[in-house]
Amino acid sequence: MTKASGLMSRCEPILTPEKLVSRYLKGIPLAFPNGDSYSAADIQDQISLAMNEVEIACKITLTREQFTDKVPFDINLYKSFIYLKTEQGPVISVEDVQITSSDGYSVFKIPSEWLEPSNFSKGIINVIPLLGAYSVATGGGVGAYGGIPYINVFSQLSFVPGFWQIVYTTGVSKIEGQFPIIVNDLIGIIAAINMLSNIQTMFINQSQSLSRDGISQSSSGPGPRMYQLYIEELIAKRDKLLGKIKATFAQKFLVTNV
């Protein structure tokens, strides 16, 4: 795969606690009124929680992981260059596409040369057997492409459940240990929102007063809404990034054939 998305070439190391504080919480005391405070381990835990939130909200896999899907045979998708949609995404690489029986026996393996990678980032795999057709037509030998007549037999069918088996690897970056900056940004924003929400809820009192020997002093503050304006700004940015990332990886709407 040469290029799946422009985001893939704009990556950086996975967000660290120090980078999170520097980008989103600079100048904000990470301490609770009761004396507790966020340690580096606590912040790392918040980053891990935010990463899981991003995966669920965007329906993508952040770190590299391999999956195996069983995809049904659909005559309409078959005629569209064997259009296959993976359950997870974005796809970094496809290790294997084959026809398997219910007991796991490999009936026919699609040659890797037939797989079209241009839409891998959207979880879409197409099979274009042009090299095989050229080889047979010119007398160049059948070899691995001898399955073309075999595949054509299935054009007589309309639907077969669990027909194709796909083994593929997903992730948002082809570089291990790195994420696109926009994904790191979303993770940091979600973690910052959660941390600020936890801190500000501990500020129960909005006003306090002190009196001694006829001298008194009083002060007031925002109380449990201490960081609310900043949180609302982060929420607006979070929602915008969620929409953009979903659109980038074609997860915003579900489209299928009837």
Q: What pLDDT is attached to residue 133?
A: 47
Q: What is the pLDDT of residue 32?
A: 77
Q: Check whether residue 87 and residue 120 sit in a common domain.
A: yes
Number of C-beta neighbours around residue 2 at 10 A: 5
Examine residue 257 and state whether it is found in any structural domain, yes or no.
Answer: no
Domain match, 72 and 158 both: yes
Tracing tokens 């929602």 back to the chain, one arrives at 239
Per-residue pLDDT of 74-87, as tens digits, reads 988 888 888 999 99
Instruction: Quickly state the pLDDT bin for 68 (edges 50, 70, 90).
Output: very high
Whether residue 13 lies inside any domain: the answer is: yes
Q: Considering the chain, what percentage of its residues have pLDDT values greater than 90?
A: 45
Tell me how far apart the alpha carbons of residues 3 and 79 are, in angstroms, rounded to a whole number: 26
HSE toward the beta carbon, residue 219, CA cutoff 13 A: 4
Verify that 233 and 109 share a domain, yes or no: no
Give SS3 for 125. strand
47 and 120 belong to one structural domain = no
CA distance 133 to 115: 14
- What's the pLDDT score for residue 79? 84
Q: Are residues 85 and 14 in the same domain?
A: no
Judge whether 102 and 74 are in contact, CB under 8 Å: no
Model pLDDT, residue 26: 92
Residue ranges with strand state E in the chain = 11-13, 65-74, 84-85, 91-100, 106-109, 115-116, 124-127, 159-170, 178-180, 207-212, 215-220
With respect to residue 240, please indicate whether it lies within any of the assigned structural domains: yes
Tell whether the model's pLDDT for residue 34 goes beyond 50.
yes
Report pLDDT digits (tens) over 200-238: 877 655 555 555 655 655 555 565 678 899 999 999 999
State the chain's mean pLDDT as an integer: 81
Over residues 97-115, the mean pLDDT reads 86
9 pLDDT above the threshold of 70? no
Tell me the per-residue pLDDT of 157-182, one tens digit each, with 9 for 90 and over: 788 888 899 999 999 988 888 999 99
* Tokens 């002093």 sit on residue: 217
Model pLDDT, residue 216: 59
Cis peptide before 33 (omega within 30 of 0): no
State whether 128 and 97 are in the same domain.
Answer: yes
- This prediction has a pTM of 0.77
DSSP-derived letter for residue 214 is: T
| pLDDT tens digits, 127-149 | 987 655 444 444 444 444 455 55
Q: Are residues 164 and 244 in the same domain?
A: no
* Cβ contact 66:145 at 8 Å: no
Query: Which of 54, 43, 56 lies closest to 198, judged by CA?
Result: 43
Domain that holds residue 153: 65-170
Question: Do 135 and 116 have their domain in common?
Answer: yes
